[in-house]
Chains A and B, each alone.
Chain A
Amino acid sequence: MKQAFAGILAGILLLFSLSGCAKKEDRRVYTQTFFEGFDTVSTLRAYADSQADFDRLADLFLDRLAYWNRLFDIYHDYEGISNLKTVNDRAGQAVKVDGEILSLLEFGREIHSITGGMTNIAMGSVLTLWHDCRESAKEHPESAHTPDPAALIAAAEHTDLSKMEIDRAASTVRLADPKMRLDVGAIAKGYAAGKIANALREAGMSDGTVNVGGNTVTVGRRPDGPWRVGIQNPDPDGDFLSVLGLSDLCLVTSGSYERYFEVGGVRYHHIIHPDTLYPVNLYLSVSVLSADSALCDGLSTALFNMEPDAGMALVESLDGVEALWMNADGSLTRSSGFAAYEEDSDEEV
């Protein structure tokens, strides 16, 4: 019976090893999409060992998204906190705010300087006029209209960023011009995306991507290589403009094809030139790549309003920054180092 016993044992071991082969790798990628925050869609994609582990990351994502959204919101008040709407509502007075708001505003100064004023967070009074026309066009498309030119010119008198006074010691910000308004739409999503990615990294996410309204931050990589990030084609029937292989890098795309309204068949999108006070239609889409998500966001706005030569010169002058422009005629222009990040678009993203 010894042989039989050995045989049974071997058989049982064989059974167990076979079912072991059939078991799958626990660590895989999970995705979740969020609709709360910055009036846009956000997505988290991350490798996790279980649904429960991923849910922990997703909960943190949502928590952080709501946190930054509350602080940077210029349209809503939130019980118990002073945010950018508070600063705007009390223009002329010093308003005590969380140091995180001051950090964003200081970055606003930096990006204003880097872009020669093309990205200006003090353009709120002008942008409000366009925002209101866009909102009313949604409700009443038949009576859609662009802002009154005289109103635009008058509003533009109050867009001097140097009138924003920050006092770090007192933790206050004061808009010295009472008619000035801050609008951080050009930098807030990229800034927040970077902060959210950091929080997730600290919470243990080693490989994942954070996307807040077209602002993508990649952390780590996939088992097969870097994260593959596709740039959406404004034409719904077209292929990706480009697919990039990114690991611990950021990509931000600004486009004129989603947030716009029409007047008499002419489209007016949401990125407004600081001098002409109207949207510019040199490009359909501008993408910026670098290690800094907020920088990508701020630059994409500036580049949208800059002539090709000036925009290219700005990008080439910045270390570690690359860009892709989709011109109005559908052609693509790349900065010198952009192609090095491009991957074959045939494989799966």
Chain B
Amino acid sequence: MKKFDWILILFVLGLAAALWGGWTLLHPASDAPVAIVRQDGETVERLPLDRDARITVGSPEGGYNTVVVEDGAVFVESADCPDKICVRTGNIREVGEVIACLPHRLSVTVESGEG
């Protein structure tokens, strides 16, 4: 084979590798589930369960819920709704589990981490 052929082969392989590397960097696969926090149907936060976090979500009428991620689970630490069922639900960590606060129309759903 001629020298030009080798240069071409290397160039094409290099380009392919660069594209694959770029794609992987832009779409990192994460095994950790993610807690999706929605207020009135709109996503307000995405909290990966492998990173501790604390956020407070306000509802339009002035109420609040404090959502905490700790040790791979997510829970509502405090809220000013009358029954506090969201707080009393405790922590969730499995894909598919949901904590909901009906008066504040807030939901916290654990989803799979890929994509």
Q: Which residues of A contact B (CB under 8 A)?
A: 3-4, 7-8, 10-12, 14-15, 18-19, 22, 24, 28-29, 31-33, 35, 39-41, 43, 45, 138, 228, 230, 232-233, 235-238, 257-258, 348-349
Contacts and interface: CB of A to CB of B under 8 A. Distances in A.
Interface string B1-30: 110110011011101100110011001000
B55 interface: no
Given A22-B20, A33-B109, A258-B85, A4 B100 contact: no
A238 B85 CA distance: 15
Contact of B12 (A11, A33, A138): A11
A4 B12 contact: no
Given A15-B15, A348-B95, A35 B102 contact: yes
Nearest to A257: B88
Interface residues of B, number: 41
Contacts of A41: 98, 100, 102, 107
A348 B82 contact: no
Contacts of A233: 90
B90 A236 contact: yes
B9 A349 contact: no
Contacts of A19: 19-20, 23
Interface of B: 1-2, 4-5, 8-9, 11-13, 15-16, 19-20, 23-24, 27, 33, 36, 38, 41, 82-83, 85, 88-91, 94-98, 100, 102, 105, 107, 109, 111-112, 114-115
The secondary-structure label for the interface of chain A is mixed
B15 to A, nearest CB: 7
Given A31-B96, A33-B109, A138-B83, 13 more contacts: A4-B4, A7-B12, A8-B8, A12-B12, A14-B12, A18-B16, A19-B23, A24-B115, A29-B112, A32-B41, A228-B96, A257-B88, A348-B112
B4 A28 contact: no
Contacts, number: 93
A138 B90 CA distance: 22
A138 B38 CA distance: 26
Nearest to A237: B90
Given A33-B38, A236-B88, A237-B90, A43 B9 contact: no
23 contacts: A3-B2, A4-B5, A7-B9, A10-B12, A11-B11, A14-B16, A15-B16, A18-B19, A19-B23, A28-B115, A33-B98, A33-B109, A35-B105, A41-B102, A45-B96, A230-B97, A232-B89, A233-B90, A258-B83, A348-B95, A348-B112, A349-B94, A349-B96
A5 B104 CA distance: 64
Contacts of B11: 11
A18 B115 contact: no
